[in-house]
C-alpha cells in the first residue's frame, strides 16, 4: 500500500503534469490575460507555486480537459478559450463562489467575451453558484474592442515570457489576496511609497 507521503507525492506529480499543459510561451489561455499579467507570469515562472494558486491553475486545467476548448491562431500566438457548455448560440461559464456577487467579476467577463469571439457565438451567460445552491446569472453580448484588447494583452504576456521579463505593475483590490503580494509590495516597506492600504483603504491580514 502507498504510504501517506507516497500518496502526497503522487498527487503533486499529477497536479504538476496538469499545470504543464499551457507552459509553451506562445500558448496563452484567455483566463491568464483576463486578470493581472504579472500574476499569470509568476504562475508560469515560479518553481514553487503557492498551494492556493495551484488549485486555481488546476481548476483551469480541468476546465480545458473536460470542457469544450478552442484555439484562436494568430501569427506567432495561440489564444485558448474554454466553454463550460454551449447552448444554441450562447457560451455558458460557471463560477462557484462563497457569496453571490451583485455585479460580475471583470476578469470573468473579459474571459467570457473572448470565448464568444473564439467560439463564434453572439451571446454568453456568466452564472455564479454557491455551495448552498443559490445562483445568479449575468448576460453578455460580445464586444470587439474588448476582444482586441484581450489579444493585445496575450501578445504582451507571450513576449514577456519569451524574454523572461516581469510584466508591469497592475494594482487592484485583487492584490490583497494575491499569493505573490510580497513580490510587488515588499519595496514599499523599504521606501515610503503609497501601499495598497492607502490606495484602497483596505488592510491585508
pLDDT digits (tens, 9 = 90+) for 128-168: 999 888 999 999 999 999 999 999 999 999 999 999 999 99
Residue span(s) of the chain under CATH 3.90.320.10 come to 9-170
Return the CATH class of domain 9-170: alpha beta
Can you give the pTM of this predicted structure? 0.76
Q: What is the pLDDT of residues 84-106, one digit of tens each?
A: 899 888 999 998 888 999 999 99
Output the DSSP codes for the chain.
---HHHHHHHHHHHHHHHHGGG-STTEEEHHHHHS-HHHHHHHHH-SS--HHHHHHHHHHHHHHHHSEEEEEE-SS-EEEEEESEEETTEEEEEEE-SS--SS--HHHHHHHHHHHHHTT-SEEEEEEE-TTS-EEEEEEE--HHHHHHHHHHHHHHHHHHHHT-PPPP---GGGGG-TTHHHHHTHHHHS-PPPHHHHHS----
Amino acid at each position: 500500500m502507498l504510504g501517506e507521503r507516497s500518496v502526497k507525492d503522487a498527487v503533486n506529480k499529477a497536479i504538476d503534469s496538469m499545470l504543464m499543459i499551457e507552459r509553451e510561451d506562445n500558448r496563452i489561455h484567455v483566463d491568464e490575460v483576463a486578470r493581472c499579467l504579472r500574476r499569470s507570469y509568476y504562475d508560469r515562472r515560479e518553481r514553487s507555486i503557492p498551494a492556493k494558486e495551484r488549485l486555481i491553475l488546476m481548476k483551469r486545467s480541468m476546465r480545458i480537459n473536460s470542457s469544450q476548448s478552442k484555439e484562436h491562431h494568430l501569427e506567432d500566438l495561440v489564444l485558448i478559450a474554454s466553454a463550460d457548455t454551449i447552448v444554441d448560440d450562447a457560451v455558458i461559464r460557471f463560477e462557484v463562489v462563497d457569496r453571490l456577487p451583485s455585479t460580475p467579476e471583470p476578469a470573468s467577463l473579459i474571459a467570457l467575451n473572448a470565448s464568444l469571439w473564439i467560439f463564434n457565438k453572439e451571446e454568453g451567460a456568466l452564472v455564479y453558484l454557491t455551495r448552498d445552491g443559490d445562483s445568479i446569472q449575468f448576460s453578455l453580448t460580445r464586444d470587439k474592442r474588448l476582444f482586441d484588447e484581450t489579444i493585445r494583452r496575450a501578445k504582451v504576456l507571450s513576449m514577456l515570457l519569451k524574454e523572461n521579463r516581469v510584466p508591469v505593475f497592475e494594482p487592484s483590490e485583487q492584490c490583497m489576496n494575491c499569493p505573490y503580494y510580497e513580490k510587488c509590495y515588499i519595496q514599499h516597506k523599504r521606501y515610503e511609497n503609497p501601499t495598497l492600504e492607502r490606495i484602497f483603504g483596505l488592510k491585508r491580514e
